[in-house]
Amino acid sequence: MASYKVVEIFTSINGEGRRAGQLALFIRFPKCNLHCSYCDTSWANTDSAAYTELTEDELYDEIKKNGIRNITLTGGEPLLQPEIGVLLHKLAADNTLSVEIETNGSISIEEFSRLKNPPLFTLDYKLPGSGMEKYMKVENFAYLKPEDTVKFVAGSRQDLERAREIIAGFQLTQKCSVYISPVFGAIAPAEIVEFMKQYRLNGVNLQLQLHKIIWDPQQRGV
């Protein structure tokens, strides 16, 4: 039986993405292979991060006991978890659940996209300001479904220009939902709106992180 390191499980609203404002059960896994300049969960990526080890059956029991239908697997980077496929297969067998994976764009989603009842992917594309763009696997775009999301976190005009290039070059608005989110405190949302207007970015959504508006931006478990 597979087991997983989990740094926190909590219920809150989805702060971003297609289900923003809806209740979700968040399962946060430790470790990430990237080091983004603006990371707001770096505490979960360290060797010293406290965790509880749970099997797929124990995680499933926690999910069912909670009673929330929307399940968000986040991190860290959830796809780095050994045998994450075992957990995804188990969750896919329950049609009452809606499972979302927040993934950083550097790991192939091909295997997981082929599940009979695949999870929803919220796939980051790391822009120049993150310092991590060179690790992006653009081949992941081929596996996206209309229900999936590509998210760009922009902190500058350069980031916005690069996001526009990627959106157009891969015709992302024809594949899935597309969101641009500001690096918190680095760029005004109004600047992103003006950029969207300037380039007529039809089908692109401005996204604000609700959890950072409702609660202290540094607060965990919300």
The string of pLDDT tens digits covering residues 97-151 is: 999 999 999 999 999 999 989 999 999 999 999 999 999 999 999 999 999 999 9
Decide: residue 116, CB within 10 A, 0-12 exposed, 13-18 middle, 19+ buried.
exposed
DSSP 8-state class, residue 185: T
| Helical packing angle, 189-198 and 157-169, nearest 10° | 40
Tokens of 2: 């597979």
Q: Mean pLDDT lowest for which of 13-17, 82-86, 89-93, 164-168? A: 13-17
Percentage of the chain lying above the pLDDT 90 cut = 81
The mean predicted confidence, pLDDT, of the chain is 93
Which residue did the predictor score with more confidence, 138 or 221? 138
Cα dihedral 220→87→70→216 (10° resolution)? 10
pLDDT reported for residue 65:
95
pLDDT computed for residue 41 by the predictor: 83
> What does the pLDDT read at residue 210?
79
> Are the C-beta atoms of 75 and 34 separated by less than 8 Å?
no
Do 99 and 64 touch, CB atoms closer than 8 A? no
What mean pLDDT comes out for the span 158-162?
Answer: 98
* Total-model pTM: 0.93
% helix, strand, coil for the chain, step of 5: 35, 25, 45
Give the pLDDT band (50/70/90) at residue 154: very high
100, amino acid identity: E
Give me the domains of the chain, ranges plus CATH numbers. 3-214 (3.20.20.70)
Q: Long-range pairs for 43-51 at CB < 8 Å and ≥24 separation?
A: 43/220, 44/7, 44/8, 44/75, 44/76, 45/75, 45/76, 49/7, 50/7, 51/5, 51/6, 51/7
> Average pLDDT, stretch 61-67?
95
What's the pLDDT at 209?
A: 79
Q: At what angle do helices 56-66 and 84-92 cross, to 10 degrees?
A: 40
Alpha carbon 17 to its chain centroid, in Å, reads 8
